[in-house]
Amino acid sequence: MERVSLLSRGRFALRSWPLLRQILTTAGLTIPILFASVNAEPLNPESVPLWMRYPAISPDGKNIAFSFEGHLFVVASTGGTAQPLTAGPSHDTAPAWSPDSKLIAFASDRYGHYNVFLTNIAGGSTRRLTSYSTDEIPTGFTPDGKYVVFSAHRMQAVKSSQLPMGTLVEEAIPTAALPELYRVSIEEGHEPEMILTTAALSAQFDRAGERLLYEDNKSYENLWRKHNTSSLAHDIWLFDKRSGHHAKLTSYPCENRNPVWAPDENSLFYLSEQSGSFNVWKLAIGGAGNSAPQQITHFEKNPVRFLSIAANGDLCFGYDGEIYLLPHGATGPGKVGIQISVAGNAASTQHLHLSDGVTEIAVSPNGKEIAFVARGDVYAVSIEHGDTKRITNTPGQERNIAFNSDGRKLVFAAEYDNSWSLYEASIVQSKDKEPYFFNSTIIDVHPILENGQENMLPKYSPNGEEVAYVENRAAIKVINLASKESRLVLPGDRNYSYSDDDLWFGWSPDGQWILVPFLQTGRWSSEVGIVDAKGKQPIINLTKSGYQNIQPLWTQGGRSMIWLSEKYGLHGDDGNEGDPQYDVYETFFTQEALNRFRLSPAEFDIVKENEEKVKKKEDEDKNKGGTVAGAKADDENPATKISPVTIELNRIESRTVRLTLASSRIVYAAVSKDGEQLVYLAKSERFRSLVTQTADKRIKAPGRN
């Protein structure tokens, strides 16, 4: 049975967009998820279950606890039918045995984040030991069995010199990059106590409770990353409580994980990639110094994971989705034969209501419909009526959706064949018959770029003839849809991506330029620049500030741009989850545009009134001249009315204005089409504020979201 969940991978979850939630709720969108296979399976216990995770052998060596499909099971170490310990919709994982082999601590997300729970091997009720709002993962017990040891990012000690981690600015999601080590009583209602402020993963006490083995964690690299040989690779350490001394035990430049004490406590077993893939190694630490490590297992194809040990020295671990046992004194490990006899109780077909869980959205140019991604597929929904159309239905993931200028095509990235490629969906029927995606009957989905590279974040040019995109998470390229030829616009060494979709760029309204933040040579901070969309000119630095500058946007039809700068804010401030403080700035590309901005309210009203008169006369002339059809076509395709963008580089820094009244933790900013209103989303201590500000910097209407 597949465990279905819908996670937000975008910058904001749908709950940040109440209107869109209402639209999708009105639509009553459901998706049937089929779990039944085409060929009926025999009604027998699952004799070869795969992806049993976190196996932990009991100290007495009699049983093995493990996680399978989100629940905990216990099986005899000799194999056989596994008995379930937990059930229900929550995800339970990371079992750890008490010294007497009677209790099991584990992590469960039944209240949201993973908390530490306790249960008896005989089954029955569970006891919640922690309730903090970050993930808490148990690693073992204290030797007396009175406390559970666990890792969590709760609160670093005041004297800690570690890098403070809280929330990544780019994705606005919590991360426990450098967790502390705690213990909590097995009796209910006790607050945890800190053991170490350093990041100590897989921590294991010796029998006396005076020494602690652990693996370090130096960064927020993915814990499942393989073959890391950088300075951020994990090492095994020994902490002596009496002296307070930390001693590094491993020195080979590779990943070293998951230490456990050998029965003599003068040596230890651990997992290491010293031979290529993760295997079990042994290291003696007694005597005058550490000896050379000794390789115990010799698997080659896949990594060994989840090492544990019984008091008699029997080793237990996971390999290739199954559980293995290496008895003390044996020459090699053997697979533990396990059967899972629990029947699933979920319906073979489930209808999921998707008013929540949408990962990204795109609004059509005419404002009539919204495209969105849910469960990795693309949909379109009518804003007014809620009618919904499914555009893709594939096992591969789709994302990065964008409309073209007339709203008749959608471009997106998809992972159909081991790499991310670019695809286009277009409405086949004529516009008079089927004007929108949500009411279309035939949609043509076809590739526009499949070259084995990782191609993401596609964006149409204003005329829809080309698509800009990111290649291999760094370089920005442009593909011509007619010729299928791509050209380099911004080299990959001017970008750096921490995670997919965190790069930023935008076409100029006339399609001649692309606005980007880029890394400065020799500095790890970004400036804002423009590059020629033809790829014939080097990047032009527009900000030249030396500070961090991000999120540039074209404004007022290309007459100016806005961006965020930390010039006057607190740089990398950790007062609230590690976010720096930004201001919104606007740079005017011509002196004329700046002069218009500097008009007094009375002068601006006169200019605006004259502009409206001119526009009204132009519309009347078009109608009188018999060009009504042409005018209508212009209204439906705004790209036909775009004027060339003029950029005066001389003294451009003197045409820059700070728009915000004070620095704050700004997440996103935008300016109205006429340039008269600034809207930005700023984070405060307890909530996010949506602030609207007029051009003369008078706050018009604050709000909360």
Res. 154 pLDDT band, cuts 50 70 90: confident
Q: Which string of b and e fits 568-606 if b means at least 16 CB within 10 Å?
A: ebbeeeeeebbbbbbbbbbbbbbeebbebbeeeeeebee
Domain boundaries, the chain: 1-30+353-499, 31-36+44-157+170-340, 504-590+646-705, 591-632
- Tell me the pLDDT of the chain averaged across its residues: 85
What digits encode the pLDDT tens for the residues 506-516? 999 999 999 99
What digits encode the pLDDT tens for the residues 442-490? 999 999 999 999 999 999 999 999 999 999 999 999 999 999 999 999 9
How is domain 1-30+353-499 classified at the CATH fold level? Answer: Neuraminidase (2.120.10)
Helix (H, G, I), strand (E, B) or coil at 381: strand
pLDDT over threshold 70, residue 29: no
Q: Which string of b and e fits 212-243 if b means at least 16 CB within 10 Å?
A: bbbbbbbbeeeeeeeebeeeebbbbbbbeeee
The β-bridge partners of 140 are 149
The β-bridge partners of 88 are none
* Interatomic CA distance for residues 655 and 188, integer angstroms: 63
pLDDT over threshold 70, residue 169: no
pLDDT over threshold 50, residue 498: yes
Least confident stretch, 48-62, 173-187, 396-410, 578-592: 173-187
Assigned CATH class of 504-590+646-705? mainly beta
The β-bridge partners of 425 are 410, 445
* Interatomic CA distance for residues 379 and 362, integer angstroms: 10
Helix (H, G, I), strand (E, B) or coil at 232: coil
Find out whether 378 and 392 touch, Cβ atoms under 8 Å.
Answer: yes
Region 59-81 average pLDDT:
95
Find out whether 126 and 116 touch, Cβ atoms under 8 Å.
Answer: no
pLDDT over threshold 90, residue 178: no
pLDDT at 705: 32
pTM: 0.69
* Interatomic CA distance for residues 114 and 683, integer angstroms: 25
Residue 351 φ/ψ, nearest 5 degrees: -105, 115
pLDDT at 637: 52
pLDDT at 633: 47
Q: Identify the DSSP state of 223.
A: T
Which one, of 74, 73, 80, 76, lies nearest residue 62 by Cα? 76
Q: Does domain 31-36+44-157+170-340 have CATH number 2.120.10.60?
A: yes
What digits encode the pLDDT tens for the residues 80-136? 999 999 988 899 999 999 999 999 999 999 998 999 999 999 878 899 999 998 899
Greater model confidence, 219 or 130: 130
Least confident stretch, 32-36, 582-586, 624-628: 32-36
pLDDT over threshold 60, residue 195: yes
* Interatomic CA distance for residues 232 and 248, integer angstroms: 14
Res. 3 pLDDT band, cuts 50 70 90: very low
Res. 539 pLDDT band, cuts 50 70 90: very high
**Same fold: 31-36+44-157+170-340 with 504-590+646-705:** yes
DSSP per-residue codes, 162-197: SPP--B-TTT--B--SS-EEEEEESSTT---EEEES
What digits encode the pLDDT tens for the residues 594-637? 998 888 888 888 888 888 888 888 888 777 765 444 444 444 55
**CA distances (Å), origin 558, targets 409, 429, 512:** 24, 34, 11
**CA distances (Å), origin 83, targets 89, 94, 105, 346, 656:** 18, 17, 16, 19, 68
